[in-house]
């Protein structure tokens, strides 16, 4: 059988400035299964360097290293992590426990990377600590334990995944005599169980506990003697079976999340300031979108009160045309001709003037609209009481009026009793036959008192003029409004011989407003995105700080078998968590702002969309991933030996 550990011609050379420093020189070393070996030598002789190579934390510059007959010199990082995790257990002079974790959690940590289930690793960690006399200290943190107790925790940690080979670098170096004695007793016991134990020490009295003492001086092995016969081989205690698959990933994610939360909680103010950029960015994006949506909805509501898919034909060349009042070319005949067209559903001529309405002692200014019978259906007017007038009223020039609720409220004590009353309009008596709801305020609407009479009546009794203010055309449902607009324009131009009119298309207005609101939202969102990027840079900055503060923790995790991707994942999760929490806080801030805004402002309300909120939360996670990647990658690329050397 191949020896457990076999080094052949191993050297370790450190570059130092122009020169290089050869710390290990041509080391040949064989260690058999179940041996207890002490490596002794003066400080600086290369003991720790040798130990790091044995522990697969460092690579030799030249030479070969085989474990159980398998050459490990050329293994990649992941394979080396696996070997460390499954076969090696480290005990350090300064314990290297994670100060945020309890004794139990410290012992469990390597088992998480090995993929053992929470119940299994908890049981095992508990029984190991119990066996080492730490049963009463399971939930103590390292700061609450003495040196000897901490070292016992670190021994339990070395054993949790099996620990067939225990590598202890000056395990008693920081301990008082009694605690040191206790640690040595435990190591001897582990050796008796059949484990291979390698102790590095500069203390001969410690070394004398081993079966074999290897002396090293100036990077060379100068003596190698056996003080006792090697014990007969024993079968090693059974190891817990390795779990695999999805549960391992979930476990590690959970553990990384708890770790991340713990480290965020340890620096609350810093975490909050880091999040602030994200909070402001997310809250402003959501508010801006809600504001845009709310105002747009309001405007569109007003537009839809103009009627759907309608064209409004006015005399003149446009709204700015000062002569349009004198252009009298739009005639009732035009409206009649238009109503014959196939793509026109309804046509109504309109004229308007203003006047005074009087009922009893009540007097008010009113807008007098002369309209066709189809006006109400073209506009989608809502009848509240009474009825609309019809074609016979139009041809008969009756003095029947439909009024809106503004007028009904102004003139009558009880608006519901308006129908049937006779009102004097500019001294002309008109009978109220119906009441409709007033148009919305804002665009196109008004607080005017509106009277609607047949246009023929208004033309003859109020205006004495046969020209029209406008013609409202409702396009047939199956016709395209833009096509209908061109066709109506061509048709009228042909009749008049020139273009002395202009057409307003409600569909165009709707599109213009929608696209204007869209542009504004885009603009302000761009600003919000900038604030998110700035927030992301803040997160990156803090993560870099966090990594540099936790270098020795990263070293310990690597030593107990964490792969680079485990470290990467842990820091990524932390970055994503900061951003996610910031994002959620941002969403809550935006919703809170909405409640305040909707209570204070009467014009319109903020309209939140779940899509925007979901996108914002997703976006904050992406920021975490993006800006957390560089710090996390830095952490995962650390050299374990250098990381462990950091204090």
611 binds, among ligand ADP, Mg ion, none (CB under 5 to 8 A by kind): none
Name the binder of 454 from Mg ion, ligand ADP, none, CB < 5-8 A by kind.
Answer: none
Residue 610 binding: pick among Mg ion, ligand ADP, none (C-beta 5-8 Å cut-off by kind):
none
Task: Give dist(CA 455, CA 460) in Å, integer.
Answer: 9
Measured from each CB, the residue nearest to Mg ion is 48
Q: Which is nearer to ligand ADP, 58 or 500 (CB)?
A: 58
Cα–Cα distance measured from residue 108 to residue 217, given in angstroms and rounded to the nearest whole number: 37
Per CB under 5 A, the list member of 6, 39, 48, 84 interacting with Mg ion is 48
Return all residues near 9 (Cβ < 8 A) that are at least 6 apart. 26, 27, 28, 62, 63, 64
Task: Name which of 62 and 130 has its Cβ closer to ligand ADP.
Answer: 62
59/496 with CB nearer ligand ADP? 59
In three-state secondary structure terms, 607 is: coil
Q: Which residue is nearest to ligand ADP (CB)?
A: 48
Instruction: Decide which of ligand ADP, Mg ion, none touches 45; Cβ closer than 5 to 8 Å per partner kind.
Output: ligand ADP
Name the minimum Å distance from CB 144 to ligand ADP.
30
Can you list the alpha helix ranges (DSSP code H) found in 460-563?
481-496, 506-549, 551-559
174 with 142: CB under 8 angstroms?
no
How far, in Å, CA of 90 to CA of 168, rounded?
6
CB of 47 to ligand ADP, least distance (A): 3
Verify binding: residue 305, Mg ion, rule CB under 5 A: no
Nearer to ligand ADP, 217 or 533 (CB): 217
Tokens of 457: 């009546």
Residue 569 interaction partner, one of Mg ion, ligand ADP, none, beta carbon < 5-8 Å per kind = none
Minimum CB–partner distance for residue 200 and ligand ADP (Å): 7
At residue 113, what are phi and psi to the nearest 5 degrees?
Answer: -65, -30
- Report whether 351 contacts 376 (CB < 8 A): no
* 43 interface partner picked from Mg ion, ligand ADP, none, CB below 5 to 8 A per type: ligand ADP
Query: CB-wise, 39 or 468, nearer to ligand ADP?
Result: 39
- Interacting residue ranges for ligand ADP, rule: CB under 6 A: 14, 16, 21, 23, 41, 43-49
Query: In 316-469, where do the E strands start and end?
Result: 344-359, 362-371, 383-386, 400-404, 422-425, 428-436, 450-454
Task: Based on the shown chain and the rule CB under 5 A, indicate whether residue 296 belongs to the binding site for Mg ion.
Answer: no
**Of 44 and 380, CB closest to ligand ADP:** 44
Note whether 385 and 434 are within 8 A (CB). yes
Of residues 358, 333, 114, the one with CA closest to residue 242: 114
Q: How far is the CB of 58 from ligand ADP (least distance, A)?
A: 9
Quick count: other Cβ atoms within 10 Å of Cβ 175? 21
| Residues from 452 through 511 that contact Mg ion (CB under 5 A) | none
Q: Which does 44 bind (CB under 5 to 8 A by kind): Mg ion, ligand ADP, none?
A: ligand ADP
Question: Residue 61 or residue 308: which is nearer to ligand ADP going by CB?
Answer: 61
Structural tokens at position 48: 């720790």
What DSSP designation does 463 have?
A: I
Minimum separation from the CB atom of position 103 to ligand ADP (A): 28
Asked if 96 is part of the footprint of Mg ion (rule: CB under 5 A), the reply reads no
CB of 48 to Mg ion, least distance (A): 3
Q: How far is the CB of 215 from ligand ADP (least distance, A)?
A: 12
Nearer to ligand ADP, 43 or 322 (CB): 43
CB 205 within 8 A of CB 13: no
The tally of CA atoms less than 13 A away on the side-chain side of residue 629 is 6
Residue 441, C-beta contacts closer than 8 angstroms, at least 6 positions apart = 302, 447
Task: Output the smallest distance, CB 205 to ligand ADP, in A.
Answer: 18
C-alpha atoms less than 13 angstroms from C-alpha of 282 in its C-beta half-sphere: 31
d(CA 269, CA 577): 16
CB atoms within 10 A of CB 134: 22
Measured from the CB atom, is 48 or 459 closer to Mg ion?
48
Question: At closest approach, how far in Å is the CB of 48 from ligand ADP?
Answer: 3
Distances (CA, A) of 346 to 24, 307, 335, 340, 558: 100, 12, 10, 9, 80
Closest CB 177 distance from ligand ADP, rounded Å: 22
**222 vs 614, which CB is nearer to Mg ion?**
222
Q: What are the residues binding Mg ion (CB under 5 A)? A: 48
């Amino acid at each position: 059988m191949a020896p457990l550990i076999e080094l052949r011609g191993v050297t370790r050379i450190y570059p130092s400035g122009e020169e290089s420093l050869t710390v290990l020189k041509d080391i040949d070393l064989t260690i058999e299964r179940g041996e207890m070996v002490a490596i002794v030598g003066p400080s600086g002789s290369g003991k720790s360097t040798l130990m790091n190579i044995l522990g697969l934390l460092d690579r030799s510059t030249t030479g070969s290293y085989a474990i159980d007959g398998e050459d490990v010199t050329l293994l990649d990082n992941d394979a080396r992590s696996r070997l460390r995790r499954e076969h090696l257990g480290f005990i350090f002079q300064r314990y290297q426990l994670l100060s945020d974790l309890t004794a139990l959690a410290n012992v469990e940590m390597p088992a998480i990377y090995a993929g053992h289930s929470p119940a299994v690793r908890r049981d095992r960690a508990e029984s190991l600590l119990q066996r080492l006399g730490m049963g009463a200290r399971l939930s103590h943190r390292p700061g609450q334990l003495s040196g000897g107790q901490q070292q016992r925790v670190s021994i339990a940690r070395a054993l949790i995944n099996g620990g067939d080979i225990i590598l202890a670098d000056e395990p008693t170096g920081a301990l008082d005599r009694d605690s040191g004695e206790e640690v040595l007793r435990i190591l001897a016991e582990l050796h008796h169980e059949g484990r291979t134990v390698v102790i590095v020490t500069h203390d001969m009295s410690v070394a004398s506990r081993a079966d074999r003492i290897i002396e090293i001086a100036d990077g060379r092995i100068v003596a190698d003697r056996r003080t006792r016969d090697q014990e007969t081989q024993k079968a090693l205690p059974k190891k817990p079976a390795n779990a695999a698959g999805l549960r391992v990933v979930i476990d590690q994610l959970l553990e990384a999340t708890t770790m991340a939360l713990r480290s965020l909680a340890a620096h609350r103010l810093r975490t909050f300031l880091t999040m602030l950029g994200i909070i402001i960015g997310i809250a402003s994006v959501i508010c801006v979108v809600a504001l845009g949506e709310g105002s747009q909805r309001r405007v569109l509501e007003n537009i839809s009160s103009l009627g759907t898919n309608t064209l409004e034909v006015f005399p003149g060349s446009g709204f700015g045309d000062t002569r349009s009042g004198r252009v009298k070319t739009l005639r009732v005949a035009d409206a009649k001709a238009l109503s014959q067209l196939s793509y026109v559903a309804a046509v109504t001529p309109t004229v308007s003037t203003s006047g005074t309405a009087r009922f009893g002692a009540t007097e008010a200014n009113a807008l007098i609209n002369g309209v066709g019978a189809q006006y109400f259906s073209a506009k989608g007017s809502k009848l509240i009481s009474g009825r609309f007038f019809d074609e016979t009223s139009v041809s008969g020039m009756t003095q029947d009026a439909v009024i809106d609720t503004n007028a009904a409220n102004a003139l009558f004590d009880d608006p519901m009793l308006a129908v049937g009353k006779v009102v004097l309009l500019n001294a002309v008596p008109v009978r109220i036959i119906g009441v409709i709801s007033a148009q919305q305020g804002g665009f196109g609407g008004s607080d005017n008192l509106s009277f609607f009479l047949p246009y023929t009546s208004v033309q003859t009794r109020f205006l004495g003029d046969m020209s029209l203010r406008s013609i409202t055309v409702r396009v047939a449902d199956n016709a395209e409004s833009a096509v209908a607009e061109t066709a109506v324009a061509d048709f009228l131009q042909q009749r008049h011989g020139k273009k002395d009119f202009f057409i307003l298309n409600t569909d165009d207005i709707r599109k213009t407003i929608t696209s204007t609101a869209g542009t504004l939202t885009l603009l302000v969102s761009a600003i919000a995105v900038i604030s998110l990027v700035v927030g992301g840079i803040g997160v990156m900055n803090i993560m870099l700080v966090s990594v540099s503060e936790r270098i020795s923790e990263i070293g310990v995790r690597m030593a107990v078998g964490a792969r680079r991707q485990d470290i990467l994942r842990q820091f990524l999760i932390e970055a994503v968590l900061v951003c996610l929490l910031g994002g959620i806080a941002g969403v809550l801030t935006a919703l809170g702002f909405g409640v305040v805004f909707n209570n204070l402002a009467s014009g319109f309300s903020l309209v939140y969309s779940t899509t925007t909120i979901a996108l914002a939360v997703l976006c904050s996670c992406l920021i975490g991933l993006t800006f957390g990647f560089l710090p996390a990658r830095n952490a995962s690329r650390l050299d374990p030996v250098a990381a462990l050397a950091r204090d």
